[in-house]
Amino acid sequence: MAALSMVIVAAIIGGFEDIGWEVLSSMRKAEFGQSILSGLVIALLAILIDRLTIGFAKAAETGSTRAMRWMTPSRLALSLAIALALAV
């Protein structure tokens, strides 16, 4: 699952001048340190996505509403607004 998450993250961010482009351009220029750092960011994002999806799946299996309590509409809207503000 982590490998799939890494592929998804790399595919999503690979089209513009962002972390995916940074990995590609630094590898082409043989900047080993910069390419490792950029690749590490992609790997950490994939791990984060993997852990979140595992947590949601386990909460859904057990029927636990305690784990999903934080997902109120207002908190989700706030999280989305923060993510959009950071993206811009």
- Rounded CA gap, 39 and 21, in Å? 11
Domain boundaries, the chain: 2-87
Give whole-number Cα distances, 39 to 42, 58, 61, 80, in Å: 5, 29, 33, 25
As a whole number, mean pLDDT of residues 56-63 equals: 71
The two three-digit tokens of residue 67, written as one number = 């784990």
CA R_g for the chain: 16
pLDDT at 85: 82
As a whole number, mean pLDDT of residues 18-30 equals: 70
Whole-model pTM over 0.85: no
Count CA atoms within 13 Å of residue 37 on its CB side.
7
